[in-house]
C-alpha cells in the first residue's frame, strides 16, 4: 500500500505542476497578445504623427536646423584650434582626442 500511496501523491504533484504550468503559459500568451496589439496601435499613431508633421513642416525649420549645424561646426573648429594652441598636441591627434572627449 505504501508504494501505491507514493504513486498517487506523485501523480497528484505532477498534475498540479502541469496545471500551474499551463495556466502560466496561458497568461503569458494573453499578455503577449495585449502587448502586440498595443505596439501595433502605437506604430499606427506614430505613422499618423509622422505624416501630419511632414505636411506641416515649413522651410524655415530646415533653415534653423542648418544654422544650428553650422554653429556646432564652428564650435568644433574653435575647440580644435584652442586644443592645438594651448597644448603641445599635434594637429593630426586632435580628431582622436575629440572622439574620446565628445
Written as one string, the DSSP assignment of 56-91 is H--HHHHHHHHHHHHHHHHHHHHHHHHHHHHS---G
The answer to whether the beta carbons of residues 81 and 95 sit under 8 Å apart is no
DSSP 3-state assignment of 102? coil
Predicted TM-score (pTM) of the model is: 0.43
pLDDT along the chain (102 residues), means of 10: 88 95 94 91 87 65 61 76 74 73 63
pLDDT score recorded for residue 47? 87
pLDDT score recorded for residue 68? 63
The answer to whether the beta carbons of residues 82 and 94 sit under 8 Å apart is no
pLDDT score recorded for residue 69? 67
Amino acid at each position: 500500500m505504501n508504494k501505491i500511496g507514493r504513486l498517487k501523491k506523485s501523480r497528484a504533484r505532477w498534475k498540479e505542476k502541469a496545471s500551474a504550468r499551463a495556466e502560466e503559459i496561458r497568461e503569458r500568451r494573453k499578455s503577449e497578445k495585449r502587448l502586440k496589439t498595443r505596439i501595433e496601435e502605437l506604430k499606427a499613431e506614430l505613422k499618423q504623427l509622422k505624416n501630419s508633421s511632414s505636411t506641416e513642416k515649413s522651410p524655415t525649420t530646415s533653415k534653423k536646423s542648418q544654422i544650428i549645424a553650422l554653429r556646432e561646426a564652428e564650435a568644433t573648429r574653435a575647440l580644435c584650434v584652442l586644443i592645438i594652441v594651448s597644448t603641445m598636441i599635434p594637429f593630426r591627434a586632435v580628431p582622436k582626442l575629440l572622439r574620446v572627449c565628445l
